[in-house]
Chain A
Amino acid sequence: MNSKNGASTVLDTLGRLESEAIHIFREVAGEFDRPVILFSGGKDSTLLLHLAIKAFYPAPVPFPLLHVDTGHNFDEVIEFRDRVVAQHGLRLEVAKVQDWIDDGRLEERPDGTRNPLQTVPLLDSITQHKFDAVFGGGRRDEERARAKERIFSLRTAFGQWDPKRQRPELWNLYNGRHRAGEHVRVFPLSNWTELDVWNYIEREGIELPDIYYSHQRDVFLRDGMWLAEGPWGTARDGETLLRKTVRYRTVGDGSCTGAVESDAADIHAVIAEVAASRLTERGATRADDRLSEAAMEDRKREGYF
C-alpha cells in the first residue's frame, strides 16, 4: 500500500490471497450447479464464509452451508454457528453423526473418537443433496499430504481422492469438469498459512467463537494433549482434571481436539503466539493425525478432507 492518493492498486500478501479466494468462489458459482460450503463454526470455515460473502456482495451468497456434526461439539461453537447463519440469512444443512449411529449405518468406535466417523455422513449428504462442488477450509501448509492438494480436487462417486487422477493446475484456470455422481472439493484457502489466516482475521475484524482465545477450563492430559471433559468422556484412571488457562488452535471433535496452555486473550496476543510457535496447529492439537505418519493421506483417500 504505497500509493499517494490512497487508492493503492498494489496488493500486499493478504490482498493477493483474498483476491485469489474470491476468484475461486466466483469460478465455482459460474460453473457448478449445486455448490455447498462446509461450515463448522471453526476459524477456517468462518473465514471461508467471510470471503464468500465478499465475493458476491451485495448479493447474498448463492450456496447453502453444510455441517457434519459429530455431536462432540463445544457449546460455544454451535451457538456461534447458528448466530452467524441467522445473521447472514443463510441456509444450513446439518448431518448428525448421531443419526447415523442410531439407525445402525455407523458404529461408535471403541476409543469414542468420532472424527473418523464424519466421512460417511459427509458423503451421504453430498449424494443426497447432489452437491457437485464442496468448499472446504483446507490449507496446504497444514500437513505434508495436503501440500500436493489441488485447489479443485476431483473426487470419485465414493468421495475418494486418487493422487494419480488429480489434474495439473495451470495459471489460474481451474478445470472443474466431472462425471455425474462425482464431485469436486474446492479449497480457496490453499495458499494461506496459519499466520495469514490470523492476520486477515485481525485486519477484517472477523468474529470467532470465544474458545479460540484464552479462558479457564477443566482439562486432563492424554498423549501430551490437554483434553476437555464433555459428552465424549472425561479423565480416566491415572489422568487428573486440572483447571488451566487454555485456548484452542483448531476446533473439531471434542474427544480428540486438544487445548493449548495460553494467555492469549485477544487477536493480537494470538498472532504473537502463532508467530512464535514451534508446533504446527494440527500436530499440537489433533490426536487423529498422530495415528501414523501417513494418517492424513489415508483419510483423504477415504473421502475425508
Chain B
Amino acid sequence: MSDLLRLATAGSVDDGKSTLVGRLLYDTKSVLADTLDAVHRASADRGLATPDLSLLVDGLRSEREQGITIDVAYRYFATPKRSFVLADTPGHVQYTRNTVTGASTAQLAVLLVDARKGVIEQTRRHAAVLALLGVPRLVLAVNKIDLVDYDEVTFFRIAKEFTAHATALGYTEDAVVQIPVSALAGDNVVDKSANTPWYSGPTLLEHLETVPVEPDPHDAAFRFPVQYVIRPRTAEHLDYRGYAGLIAAGTIKPGDEIVVLPSGRRSTVTKIDTADGELTEAAAGQSVTLLLADDIDISRGDLISVAGNEPTVTDELDATLCWLAEKPLRPGARVLVKHGTRTVQAMVTELRDRFDEQNLSSVDSPASLELNEIGRVALRLAEPVPLDDYSFSRRTGSFLVIDASDGSTLAAGLVGAPLPLLEDGVESCTGGSAATPDTHALVSPGP
C-alpha cells in the first residue's frame, strides 16, 4: 500500500473548511508548539474564548484580515500509517481556478457541506469539477453536525442526495464515502464521536489512512516525455547519450521496442540509468534516463512511447478547457499550448459548448468562455503533437494554455471530453456511462 496520499479539500465559504483542516493538523499533532502559541495569542486578541483553528491555515495577511482563504495552500501531516499532502482549496469567487489546481494532483477530495444547508449549488459544481479532473475518490464531510443536534435523518438525507449527484457524474458508490463531522467540536474527524451512535463508519482520518490509493498507471501503455538530453562528453562517458524524463504511464525494460513521436522513428531501450545505478525495470512516477540502441535525433519535447500502442499524433484536437484568466476566451484566439515537455503555438478555432455544472448540461456555441467557466473547444496546433485522451492518462492527456504575450497561464486543458455529460446531458448519464470510476482508477495523479 502506498504510504503517501495526496488529497484536496473543497467547500463553500463558511462551510468550516479551514477549521476542518486546522482540526486535522491539530488532532494529528502536526501543529507545533510555537505555531499553536501564535494561534492562541491571535485568538485571544480577537476576544475568542477557544482557539480559532482556522488561524492555523489561513496564511496571508490579506486573508487573515478578511477571514477568508484566497489561494491554494499546501499542508503536510503524517500518522504512523501514512503521509499526507493536502491541497487546501478555497471556496469563494475564484473557486474553479483553485479547485482545478488542487484537484489536478489529488488522489482523493474531501468535499464539505454545512449540515444546516445540505447540498447546495456550489457543492454540485465542486463535485463536477473534481469528476472532470479525474479525482478517483470523494469524501463528503457533512460538517456542523452539532448544529443540527447530531440528527441522523438530516445526515442520511444529505448523504443520499450527494451520492445521487456523484453517481450521475460517473462515480461508483464505493468511491464516495459520507461522514458526519463537527470540525469545531472534533466529532468524527480524528476520534470517533459519542454524539453519533447511529454512524458506524470510519472517522475522517481513519478513512484517509486506509482508503486504497490508485497506483500510478503501471498497466497502461508506456509514455515518456523527454525533458533533457544528457551528454557528459567526458573521457569516461565519451559516447553517453541519455534521454532524461519522468515516466508518465506504464513500465519499461531494457529490450523493449519504442517509438519516438512525433518523428515516428523506432529503436530499442538498451539501458535504464539512474544515479543509483541501472534498473532492470522502471514504472510510472520514476525519474530515469533511457539509453537507446540507435543514434537517432531526439530532443526535449519528444515523447517516447511503447511501439504498437501509441498516442495519436495530430495537429487538431477537441479539448475541455477550464478557463482561469480574467481575460475571456473568444473563438480565433492565438495561444500557446504546453503539453508534456513541448510548447507549441495554437489557435482556438471553435467554442463548441459551455458546461453548466449546476444542471450538468451544456450551452452550445457560446460567444466566449469567461473566468472560471468550463467548456469544450476545437484547437489547431502549429505542429503535430502526440496526444492521449485525458481519461487514459492525467499526465499525457493534460496541457496548459498560455498567453504568448505575458506568459500567464490562461487555462487547464484536458484532451477529449472527460465528462460525457457535455455531450449527452443529464438523462443519459444517470445510468453511468463513459466516465466510470474504473476509468478514473487508471488515471494517475502527479508524483
Interface residues of A (CB under 8 A from B): 5, 7, 9-13, 15-16, 18-20, 22-23, 26-27, 29-30, 53-60, 140-141, 144-145, 147-148, 163, 166-173, 175, 177-179, 190-191, 193, 195-196, 277-280, 283-284, 293-294, 297-298
Contact = CB atoms under 8 A, between A and B. Distances in A.
Interface stretch (B68-76, B111-119, B345-353, B430-438): B68-76
Interface string B401-441: 01000111100100000000000000000000000000000
Contact of B275 (A30, A53, A279, A294): A53
Contacts of B327: none
Interface stretch (B161-169, B177-185, B243-251, B379-387): B243-251
Which one of A5, A20, A171 has the greatest number of beta carbons of chain B within 10 Å?
A171
B61 A167 contact: no
A19 B399 contact: no
A8 B15 CA distance: 43
A297 B286 CA distance: 34
Contacts of A196: 83
Contacts of B283: 9-10
A9 B281 CA distance: 7
A177 B402 contact: yes
B78 interface: yes
Interface in B203-233: 215, 218, 227-228, 230-233
Given A58-B237, A175-B407, 14 more contacts: A9-B281, A55-B244, A55-B275, A57-B230, A57-B289, A60-B232, A144-B58, A145-B60, A147-B73, A148-B73, A171-B446, A175-B338, A179-B406, A283-B34
A178 B407 CA distance: 6
Interface string B55-83: 00111111010000011111110100001
24 contacts: A7-B280, A29-B228, A30-B300, A54-B275, A55-B275, A58-B237, A58-B273, A59-B231, A59-B234, A60-B232, A144-B57, A148-B74, A167-B408, A168-B97, A168-B324, A169-B101, A170-B101, A170-B409, A171-B105, A173-B340, A175-B338, A293-B42, A293-B64, A294-B61
Contact of A58 (B2, B232, B276): B232
B126 interface: no
Given A19-B285, A170-B104, A140 B228 contact: no
A171 B246 contact: no
A274 B167 CA distance: 44
B227 A26 contact: yes
A19 to B, nearest CB: 4
B400 A175 contact: yes
A10 B400 contact: no
Given A147-B74, A170-B104, A193-B76, A7 B279 contact: yes
Contacts of A27: 227, 341
Contacts of A173: 338, 340, 398-400
B32 A279 contact: yes
Contacts of B230: 56-59
Given A10-B2, A279-B34, A280-B35, A172 B285 contact: no
B85 interface: yes
B232 A59 contact: yes
A218 B370 CA distance: 63
B153 interface: no
Contacts of B34: 279-280, 283-284
Contact of A190 (B2, B74, B100): B74
Nearest to A140: B74
Contacts of A9: 218, 251, 281-283, 286
A58 B240 contact: yes
A200 to B, nearest CB: 13
Contacts of B395: 171-172
Contacts of B244: 26, 55-56
A145 B35 CA distance: 13
A20 B4 CA distance: 13
A140 B76 CA distance: 8
Nearest to A192: B76
B196 interface: no
A25 to B, nearest CB: 9
A57 to B, nearest CB: 4
B253 to A, nearest CB: 9
B287 interface: yes
Contact of B447 (A16, A140, A190): A16
A169 B409 CA distance: 9
B295 interface: no
A166 B287 contact: no
B49 interface: no
Nearest to A51: B275
A7 B286 contact: no
B38 interface: yes
Nearest to A191: B85
B281 A16 contact: no
Nearest to A22: B287
A148 B70 CA distance: 10
A195 B78 CA distance: 10
Closest 10 CB pairs of A and B: A177-B407, A283-B34, A9-B283, A144-B59, A57-B275, A54-B275, A59-B232, A22-B287, A278-B33, A26-B227
Contacts of B61: 294, 297-298
B365 interface: no
B369 to A, nearest CB: 16
Contacts of B341: 27, 30
B281 A7 contact: yes
Nearest to A56: B230
Contacts of B73: 144, 147-148
Contacts of B408: 167, 175
B300 A172 contact: no
Nearest to A169: B101
Given A27-B227, A144-B59, A175 B409 contact: yes
A295 to B, nearest CB: 10
A58 B70 CA distance: 43
B209 to A, nearest CB: 14
B72 A19 contact: no
B256 interface: no
A297 B246 contact: no
Contacts of B406: 179
B275 A11 contact: no
Select the residue from A169, A173, A283 with max chain B CB neighbours within 10 A: A173
A172 B246 contact: yes
